Structure 1
Amino acid sequence: MTTFFYKARNKRGEAVEGKLEAASSELVASQLLNSDIIPISIDEVAEKQDVLADLKRKLGIGRPELDDLILFCRQMYTLAKAGVPIIRAITGLAETSRNAQLVESLHRMKSDLESGRELSTAMATYPEIFSTLMVNMVKVGENTGQLDEAFVKLSQYLEMEKDTRDRVKAAMRYPTFVIIFIAIAIGIVNIFVIPAFAGVFEKFDMDLPWQTSLLINTSNFTVAYWPYILSLLIVTIIAVRSYLKTEQGRYRWDRRKLRLPLVGGLLMRATLARFTRSFAMTTRAGVPLVQALTIVARAVDNSFVSERINSMRNGIERGDSLLRTATATSLFTPLVLQMIAVGEETGAVDDLLDEVGGFYEREVDYDLKSLSSAIEPILIVAVGILVLILALGIFLPMWDLTQIAKR
């Protein structure tokens, strides 16, 4: 997108000027004419490129957290309900926001609003900050004159999303720390401890048990080739991350992680809770069913589930019912399908899907509480096996040395 500076006159003959981002000057002129603004001159702006800022934006460094977006939605709800003009509200939020990237985006949104663009259109320019769900909810609020209600619903949705993520992180914190410390301990033992014992064993020219030979060979390999091991690890991480950014890689990983032991079912239920909550919110706001499914498919943050939701949309476009398309996806339990059927019969699909979202969230909460207790035995067994190998590898030869010394 290129930035253009324009000078124009509105329908009252007043001179206006501003900046717009578009692919060409023709599109800028078309957009101005659609807003009843007659362009006089349109010039391309040669902006200075901040390489470091662009790199940070691509890597997601400094991106607003959910807390920032929740605060933004809450403040927009308060200001919109109080009747504060949108441009003044955006200006005030840009001065009080704590996130630099959000502040920069709000300043640019202000310029877009002053040039005649709608708030939803201005927000859509920054997809790395404002999701498709947020943009479409704001657009619905603008069209229905209920912008304040759109922002309060978004804040409630984001708060539930943050709560779920925080609980998942809290449940995974303990096993993550244990695995990291195990890896550090293995590295220290391989580099410092085992070589010291290996030197003692070599002096006596004795037959070593297989546990000790395994430890010594592993240590020698690590000490001799650690630069290559580290380089291979870095290259592997970069290659995997690059592959996961592709459409095929993201789809395969999103599908496989839902089948992981212990956490796969939890991730599936959390994703379905996000789907049902966002779908209920969009349909309750008056978004047509097909458009709501299109919006929600981009909001679930899982390519595999998104594909199934798009298949639901295609089925509804062909004339199938919501129940039949939901059954064909094989994502939902019979209980959920029964609730969808009742919702279609009574015309209260949004309310019942909200109940389904609560049902999945309660299951996620229960799974999170039992996740740590399920992972702890596995970690204890892994640590026990590691300690056993180290003990046998180090103390069995020392026992033989003791017997030699006695003789």
Structure 2
Amino acid sequence: MRPRRKDKWKAKNKARFFLNVGRLLQRGYTLNHGAKLLMYGEPPHARNTISSWIATLQDGRAWVESLELLKIPSDISAYLYFSERYGMLSHGFYYAGRMLEQRERFKEKVRTLARYPILLIWIIATLFLFMTLFVFPQFEELFATMDIDYPAITSFTFTLFEGLPFAFGAFIVVTVGFYAYYQQRFKKLHSFQQIRTVEKIPGSKRWLHLYITYTVSLQMSQLLKGGLSAHDALQVFIKQRQMPFLQAEGERIQTDLNEGKSLHDAIAGASYYQQEFADVIRHGQAAGQLAEDLAHYSEMLWEELNERTRKTTVMIQPFLFLVIGGFILLLFLSIFLPIFQLITSLDG
């Protein structure tokens, strides 16, 4: 298998392209004409990607195969797949662009929040190397010559610094082990087994349930807006291949419906959804606006995911600053206390 090359087409520019394609399609342009028109305003690497994508469409390749060239997240790829299949391509491209744009805006906020702590961590790593390679060896030689004991805090810092390389090595080993487990075992598990495995990670259940509910409500609303019944939408879930979970979940819900259960009962019977999801479906079916209710509900879930991530990042920042500040203070004391002790011994 060929290694996947890095995508040089920035996601925010890709989002803008999708939004503009959606607008042109709404004005009556064909996909081929609209994409070619927008292609000329893109940088060369993006132009090459768009040109290859258009060529696959003109060659009669499958829509799902052509989407792989765009290198977009699997849920957005599935969204465009459903949009094309049921004649809502202008709507699909526009909202795919919106979703991608929102994600990039959110990533930028996270990067901004993380920039200062990362800078401090880099400074500390530089100080660590400088202290380990130059300062502490000089201290050891000087104190050994003068037969003076280190201050307790300096001895503690020496011990800490000696253990850090081993801790870093252990971290690398654990990281490689997790990656190997993910590639060799986790990816081969059935979707429901993957969910149960992730739920065992402390603090992950709420996030996982939010994301699963968001994904299903978003994709279901798109299909229902295209005029499909809930039964037909489930058949699309089952037949698509971009998202294995949607395929497995479609089969599960279809089995429940065949046994005489209602759609909201089938949803309520799964533990990996938000508790109110079944109520949203029941309300939408009763009002005859299930597609609209699911669309609004998915937007609310996306906003909640963003807000929870922002709050988590804001909560982590003070802890990082405290750890970094404590480490710098420890370095300061471990250097200046021995110097002060040497001066005192010389005066004595």
Q: Is the 2:238–2:251 Cα contact (8 Å) retained in structure 1?
A: no
1:3-402 counterparts in 2 under 5 A?
55=3, 58=4, 60-98=5-43, 100=45, 102-117=46-61, 120=63, 123-124=66-67, 126=69, 128-129=71-72, 131=74, 133-134=76-77, 137=80, 140-141=83-84, 143-144=86-87, 146-216=88-158, 241=179, 243-246=181-184, 248=186, 256=198, 259=201, 265=206, 269=210, 272-286=213-227, 288-291=232-235, 293=237, 298=242, 307=245, 312-318=249-255, 319=257, 320-402=261-343
Q: Larger radius of gyration, structure 1 or 2? A: 1
Distance 1:297 1:326 in 2: 22
By relative contact order (CA 8 Å, sep 6+), the higher-ranking structure is 2
Q: Is the 2:19–2:94 Cα contact (8 Å) retained in structure 1?
A: yes
Unaligned runs of 5+ in 1: 2-53, 300-305
Query: TM-score, structure 1 length as denominator?
Result: 0.64
Q: Does 1:406 align with 2:347?
A: yes
Distance 1:264 1:172 in 2: 24
Three-state SS of the structure 2 residue aligned to 1:96 is coil
Distance 2:81 2:242 in 1: 16
Three-state SS of the structure 2 residue aligned to 1:197 is helix
Distance 1:95 1:245 in 2: 39
Distance 1:104 1:378 in 2: 45
Residues 250/232 of structure 1: CA separation in 2 closer, same or farther (3 Å cut): farther
Distance apart, 1:61 and its partner CA: 1.5
Distance apart, 1:310 and its partner CA: 5.1
Q: Per residue, is there more helix in 1 or in 2?
A: 2
AA partner of residue 76 (structure 1): V
Residues 347/150 of structure 1: CA separation in 2 closer, same or farther (3 Å cut): same
Residues 330/189 of structure 1: CA separation in 2 closer, same or farther (3 Å cut): farther
Q: Is the 2:39–2:47 Cα contact (8 Å) retained in structure 1?
A: yes
Q: Is the 1:276–1:353 Cα contact (8 Å) retained in structure 2?
A: yes
Q: Is the 1:123–1:135 Cα contact (8 Å) retained in structure 2?
A: no
Residues 214/131 of structure 1: CA separation in 2 closer, same or farther (3 Å cut): same
Q: Is the 2:75–2:215 Cα contact (8 Å) retained in structure 1?
A: no
Q: Is the 2:284–2:290 Cα contact (8 Å) retained in structure 1?
A: yes
Identity of aligned residues (%): 17
Q: Is the 2:210–2:273 Cα contact (8 Å) retained in structure 1?
A: no
Distance apart, 1:138 and its partner CA: 5.1
Distance apart, 1:128 and its partner CA: 3.2
How many pairs does the alignment contain? Answer: 337
Distance 2:332 2:268 in 1: 55
Residues 180/66 of structure 1: CA separation in 2 closer, same or farther (3 Å cut): same
AA partner of residue 148 (structure 2): M
Distance 1:258 1:360 in 2: 22
Q: Is the 2:218–2:298 Cα contact (8 Å) retained in structure 1?
A: yes
Q: Per residue, is there more strand in 1 or in 2?
A: 1
Distance 1:104 1:358 in 2: 33
Distance apart, 1:204 and its partner CA: 1.2
AA partner of residue 215 (structure 1): T
Distance 1:132 1:343 in 2: 23
AA partner of residue 279 (structure 2): Q
AA partner of residue 401 (structure 1): L
AA partner of residue 352 (structure 1): D
Residues 256/131 of structure 1: CA separation in 2 closer, same or farther (3 Å cut): closer
Deviations 1:177-225 (A, max 9, x none): 4433333333333233322322322221223345423433565688xxx
